[in-house]
Amino acid sequence: MGPFLQYTVIGLTVGSFYALVALGYTIVYGIIRLINFAQGDLSMVGAFIGWTLLVSLGLEHLPLFLAIVVAFVVPMLGTAIVNLGILQFAYKPLLNRSLLAILITALGMSLVLQNGSELIWGPAIEAYPPNLLPAEGMFLGPVHVTYVQIALVVVSLLLMGGLVAFVQGTTLGTAMRALAVDHDAARLMGINVNQVIRLAFVLGAMLAAASGVMLGLYYVQIQFTMGFLLGLRAFTAAVLGGIGNIPGAMAGGMLIGLLEAYTTGYLSGKWEDVIVFGVLITVLVVKPTGLFGERVAERM
């Protein structure tokens, strides 16, 4: 029982990172039916902006709380600007054309972000300050939980809670959900559709950037290629939960995190991708609408 609970703690921590990235996929898909394959790479960009602040600019020497706030807020804003740029220059000209063209453009944007980051930050593996956060933790019965794990999960849950409150509780959030149903009807309500699309890209990028900084703090090592697998796993999470569905993305992220932790724990880390992508294939074959995706209406 001990190891099982230990793997569960690890799975939920990692799962919350996947959930944040999966939310980005799902918000953007919900509104313009695009799988934004650059989502995982946005996370990587966020991780590098955070690293630049903490290590290159020496913010790690500031008081801990201040350093952490800056290391989250600035990458979230910076990555949002990057994603708006991608929307404006790469996706917008294609929005009313073929979905295939825009999908391939998204794959291209993923490569642009990777190679752009390699140019800026270099191909080497960089390290987040390993002693920034306290390494110790506490025992909950037989399970050891570090304070970092608790903090990262709490921050993820706050971000997700904030997103849900925004989407469910505000008129602007309602407009986002309306756009998932009918763009023309939304226009007739006086909704500026382009503005709401931009908002979705900003939110998606901010969540991805936050997850990138968390990955850096948790695993310490970051590299320009880290967004690729992260993106694919988060995509699997979004599909598993039912793409376009916000609670689905959160649940899917947690499930993928748990699956990965149990696989590593009971089998071997080498089997992680086999199992995770096995799940993707199974969901696509057996229940393509995912666990929560019963209300997906195709507009294509």
Partner 1 sequence: MAVLEVRDLHVFYGNIEALKGISLQADAGQIVAILGGNGAGKTTTLRTISGLLRPRSGSITCNGKSLVGLSAHGIVAMGISHVPEGRRIFNVLTVEENLNLGGYLIRSDRAMVQQRKGAIYALFPRLLERRMQLAGTLSGGEQQMLAIGRAIMSDPKVLMLDEPSLGLAPILARSVLRTVREIADRGTTVLLVEQNARQALTIAQRAYVIEVGRIVLEGEASELAKDERVQKAYLGGFEAVSSASPEP
Residue 172 is a binding residue for partner 1 (CB under 8 A): yes
Determine whether 8 is exposed, middle or buried from the number of CB atoms within 10 Å of its CB (0-12, 13-18, 19+).
middle
Would you say the C-alpha torsion 108, 110, 114, 116 has a positive or negative sign?
Answer: positive
Smallest gap from residue 181 Cβ to partner 1 (A): 5
Residue 193 is a binding residue for partner 1 (CB under 8 A): yes
Q: Which residue has the tokens 């570090």?
A: 146
Q: Which of 174, 225, 265, 289 binds partner 1 (CB under 8 A)?
A: 174
Q: Which of 98, 184, 270, 286 binds partner 1 (CB under 8 A)?
A: 184
Residue 190 is a binding residue for partner 1 (CB under 8 A): yes
Stretch that binds partner 1, among 80-88, 174-182, 206-214, 271-279 (CB under 8 A): 174-182
Smallest gap from residue 33 Cβ to partner 1 (A): 16
Q: Which of 88, 115, 192, 282 binds partner 1 (CB under 8 A)?
A: 192
Residue 120 is a binding residue for partner 1 (CB under 8 A): no
Q: Which of 186, 214, 256, 283 binds partner 1 (CB under 8 A)?
A: 186
Q: Which of 101, 189, 267, 281 binds partner 1 (CB under 8 A)?
A: 189
Site map for partner 1, 124-163, x if CB under 8 A? ----------------------------------------
Dihedral through CA 72, CA 73, CA 79, CA 82, nearest 10?
Answer: -160
Residue 63 is a binding residue for partner 1 (CB under 8 A): no
Residue 182 is a binding residue for partner 1 (CB under 8 A): yes
Residue 165 is a binding residue for partner 1 (CB under 8 A): no
Contacts of 213 (CB under 8 A, 6+ apart): 46, 47, 50, 71, 72, 75
Would you say the C-alpha torsion 215, 218, 224, 228 has a positive or negative sign?
Answer: negative
Q: Which of 1, 100, 124, 188 binds partner 1 (CB under 8 A)?
A: 188
Residue 178 is a binding residue for partner 1 (CB under 8 A): yes
Smallest gap from residue 187 Cβ to partner 1 (A): 4
Q: How many other C-beta atoms can be found within 10 angstroms of the C-beta atom of residue 22?
A: 35
Residues engaged in binding partner 1 (CB under 8 A): 171-172, 174-175, 177-178, 180-182, 184-193, 295
